[in-house]
């Protein structure tokens, strides 16, 4: 039986340590429910202190308790990301109370389904304001204070790249735009500022958004997923931790689908 090479344990600990976020401060938007709660808790489990923001103050407090249960610090700030001043306030408070912003997860978003010929302009603008402009305002504010080695993770969707069976022009437009936003910010900031910018494209995961689908819709969509199931939120969180951590230090400007193979079809 051959012996393990000397130093193997140290090497194992070395590679695993690149996924850790100890000493980092992460902001998660839309953290009052669903995947936002999972992102906040997962980043805290990886070692980060977390700033959470959302419009629903009562639910935000529940998320704060989840994060603090991991032993990490958590700052909860009521904020609407469609308001550029609110985004700046979140970043200013993160800097003043926690001392840094190293990670941004642009998770805040809303879905809307309506036939295009019947869509009210205000409804279309609301989706764009939150999903696209909110991500831009938060990235802009964070980009002004982030240190080299920081990471921005935009949450897109497979619907930014593929079409399904619901009329979701506003939502799909906003998620397609997230791809362009990610690519351009990565080009601007990776070399000049040392800030990596990537995007996740989730497929179907349990969330309030999925709960609003018409009866039978999700079952039909799962038939198009090679993995044959919806995702487990921790599978998406693991991808976010990877993109937030030094483990992905040579990755910027990419769209990473976490969709059970859906975009291969």
- 10-residue stretch averages of pLDDT, the chain, 265 residues long: 41 81 98 95 98 93 96 98 98 98 97 85 96 98 98 95 82 96 98 98 80 72 87 96 98 97 82
* Domain at 97, CATH number: 3.40.50.720
Helix (H, G, I), strand (E, B) or coil at 28: strand
Decide if 141 is inside a domain.
yes
In the set 171, 213, 217, 250, the catalytic residue is: 171
Provide the pLDDT for residue 73.
Answer: 98
Q: Is 90 inside any structural domain?
A: yes
Residue 13 covered by a domain: no
195 within 8 A of 151, measured Cβ to Cβ: yes
Both structure tokens of 14: 């070395």
Backbone angles phi, psi at 2, to 5 degrees: -75, 150
| Residue 11: per-residue pLDDT | 46
Residue 147 included in any domain: yes
- Token pair, residue 85, equals 């001043």
Q: Does the active-site annotation cover 171?
A: yes
Is the pTM for the entire model greater than 0.85? yes
Asked, for residue 123, whether it belongs to a domain, the answer is yes
Domain coverage including residue 231: 20-258
Give, in order, the Cα–Cα distances in Å from 212 to each of 63, 79, 166, 203, 209. 22, 24, 12, 15, 5
Number of domains composing the chain? 1
In a domain, 167, yes or no: yes
């Amino acid at each position: 039986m051959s012996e393990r090479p000397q130093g193997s344990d140290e090497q194992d600990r070395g590679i695993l340590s690149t996924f850790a976020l100890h000493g980092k401060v992460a902001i998660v938007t839309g953290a009052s429910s669903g995947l936002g709660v999972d992102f906040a808790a997962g980043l805290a489990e990886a070692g980060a202190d977390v700033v959470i923001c959302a419009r629903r103050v009562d639910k935000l407090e529940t998320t704060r308790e989840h994060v603090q249960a991991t032993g990490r610090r958590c700052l909860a700030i009521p904020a609407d990301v469609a308001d550029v001043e609110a985004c700046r306030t979140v970043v200013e408070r993160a800097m003043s109370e926690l001392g840094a912003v190293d990670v941004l997860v642009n998770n805040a978003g809303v879905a809307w389904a309506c036939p295009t010929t019947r869509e009210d302009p205000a409804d279309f603008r609301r989706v764009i304001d939150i999903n696209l402009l909110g991500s831009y305002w938060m990235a802009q504010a964070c980009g002004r204070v982030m240190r080299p080695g920081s990471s921005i993770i935009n949450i897109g969707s497979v619907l930014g790249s593929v079409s399904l069976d619901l009329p979701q022009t506003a939502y799909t437009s906003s998620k397609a735009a997230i791809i362009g936003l990610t690519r351009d910010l990565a080009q601007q900031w990776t070399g000049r500022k040392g800030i990596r910018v990537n995007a996740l494209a989730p497929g179907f995961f349990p969330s309030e958004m999925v709960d609003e689908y018409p009866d039978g819709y999700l079952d039909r969509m799962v038939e198009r997923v090679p993995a044959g199931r919806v995702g487990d939120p921790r599978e998406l969180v693991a991808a976010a931790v990877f993109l937030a951590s030094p483990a992905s230090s040579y990755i910027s400007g990419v769209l990473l689908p976490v969709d059970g193979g859906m975009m291969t079809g």
